[in-house]
Chains A and B, each alone.
Chain A
Amino acid sequence: MKQKTVYLYIAAYLTLLIPTPGRFVYGFTLMLEMLLLMLAGTGVNILIDRLKLKDLKTVMILFTVLAVTLIFRQIYVVLYPEIMLTLGFIIYLVPVSVFLLGYLFQESEEKPLKLLQYNMVRAFNFALCGLFFCLIRDIAGYGTFTFYGKKHQIMEKVIFSGDKLGLFSFLSTIPGALVLCSVIIFFHLSIKTKFSIIENAEGAKE
């Protein structure tokens, strides 16, 4: 992972995933919203470049992502109101998160489809990391797996009973999420260090 990408991820994690409740279904909802906003934002970016309206670029993109957020929210209010009630303010963190804005406003001379593919691949990568993060918090912190269920309710599958969780229930809290982020960063750093040692050793042999 490139250095700049790592810092973008760190900023996005801080903005987006830490305040999220520690259930997989909420993380899934936010990642879905992020993918939708990336698609809409990139589409508007391409359209603005085609129409040569560069003066209005920033305002148009921000207005579009906010509008898509509102549509997304209203759809969920009809389908799963409990999720929107819990998320509340957090869905508005997605459109203004650093990760999204960093890729949407990049000046690129690539073809539209290639730019769309580039942005969506980055968004999918972040979404997968986010989903994995939320899954760990749900299983370790609550001992459950949550997803969309029938009759506009959240389905909850109990994997471990509450008695067996012990101190792992700390991961369901906000300090727990911060500590989990820290563990992931140190894990990534240790892997990077090991690879650099191997590369230096191979370089020294040659």
Chain B
Amino acid sequence: MILDTFIYYVLFASSVLVYGVGMNRIANVGFEKNNSLFFYIKMIINVFACSVLGWLVTNYVLLPIGIIELFPLVVFLIFISISSFIEAIVRITTNTTAAEFVLSFLIVLLSILESTSLINTILICFCCLIEMLLLVPFIIAFKNRVIPNGKNISERYYGLFFIFLAVLVLVLTVWDVVWIKPGALL
């Protein structure tokens, strides 16, 4: 089951390319200034802590009293609390900011929404983060081919970038079709 979930969220239904979690962030890979290591450590701790606590509250508090539909609000409150706490620690110790909301919150929401157990929640968070990490070398290689010298983002780059993402999705899903069957192409 662990392998099935991992392959599903990394390859079959890629959390970045199919679910859209963090798709706008990968578009800016290589253009934004590199974040410090503390930024990524804070994000990973934040995601895992929020998803675990969110799942526990959803499963043992919201579900028994029948208000499971309110889980995004509850998860948001948990997320803000944990994120502010960790951000305060990072600012006091390193004097840098590590604030990040959209990607972390979407990963937490997706993991709680689609999980069947606590282990599944942690696994889905792990899969989303691994998926982002796996795509970074491809994006950087593409960026270096299209804009080898400058750092200017232009509309032409985004036009090609969309086609590049389409090729990536096709590469991940093309093997799942029986192409030799009559009618598969048309």
- A179: chain B residues at CB < 8 Å are 162-163, 166
Q: Is the Cβ of A62 less than 8 Å from the Cβ of B76?
A: yes
Say how far B63's CB is from chain A's closest CB, in angstroms: 16
What's the count of A-B pairs with C-beta under 8 Å? 98
Can you list 6 A-B pairs, Cβ within 8 angstroms, ordered by A? A11-B24, A96-B101, A174-B169, A178-B163, A189-B155, A192-B155
* Smallest Cβ-Cβ distance to B28: which chain A residue: A11
Find B169's partner among A16, A98, A178 (CB 8 Å cutoff): A178
The segment out of A66-74, A128-136, A153-161, A198-206 that lies at the interface is A66-74
Q: Is B186 an interface residue (CB 8 A)?
A: yes
- A6: chain B residues at CB < 8 Å are 155
- A19: chain B residues at CB < 8 Å are 18-20, 23
Q: Is B160 an interface residue (CB 8 A)?
A: yes
Q: Lowest 7 A-B CB distances belong to which pairs?
A: A19-B20, A175-B166, A178-B166, A182-B162, A185-B159, A11-B24, A14-B23
The segment out of A31-39, A43-51, A85-93 that lies at the interface is A85-93
Say how far B19's CB is from chain A's closest CB, in angstroms: 6
The docked-state distance in angstroms from the alpha carbon of A174 to that of B172 is: 12
Q: Is B156 an interface residue (CB 8 A)?
A: yes
Q: Is A83 an interface residue (CB 8 A)?
A: no
* Smallest Cβ-Cβ distance to B160: which chain A residue: A182
- B20: chain A residues at CB < 8 Å are 14-16, 18-19, 90, 93
Residue count of chain A within 8 Å CB distance of chain B: 42
- B101: chain A residues at CB < 8 Å are 62, 96
Residue count of chain B within 8 Å CB distance of chain A: 36
Q: Is B133 an interface residue (CB 8 A)?
A: no
The docked-state distance in angstroms from the alpha carbon of A18 to that of B69 is: 25
Say how far A201's CB is from chain B's closest CB, in angstroms: 22
Q: Is the Cβ of A189 less than 8 Å from the Cβ of B156?
A: yes
- Mark each residue of chain A from 50 to 76: 1 if its CB lies under 8 Å from any CB of chain B, else 0: 000000000100110011011001100
Instruction: Known contacts A18-B20, A189-B159; decide if A74 and B76 are in contact (CB<8 Å).
Output: no
Q: Is B113 an interface residue (CB 8 A)?
A: yes
Q: Is A149 an interface residue (CB 8 A)?
A: no
The docked-state distance in angstroms from the alpha carbon of A51 to that of B9 is: 44
12 further A-B pairs in the complex, CB-CB below 8 A; given A14-B27, A16-B20, A92-B109: A10-B27, A11-B27, A15-B20, A19-B23, A69-B72, A70-B69, A96-B102, A166-B186, A179-B162, A179-B163, A188-B155, A189-B155
Q: Is B73 an interface residue (CB 8 A)?
A: yes
Q: Is A101 an interface residue (CB 8 A)?
A: yes
Q: Is B128 an interface residue (CB 8 A)?
A: no
Q: Is the Cβ of B23 less than 8 Å from the Cβ of A96?
A: no
The docked-state distance in angstroms from the alpha carbon of A189 to that of B160 is: 12
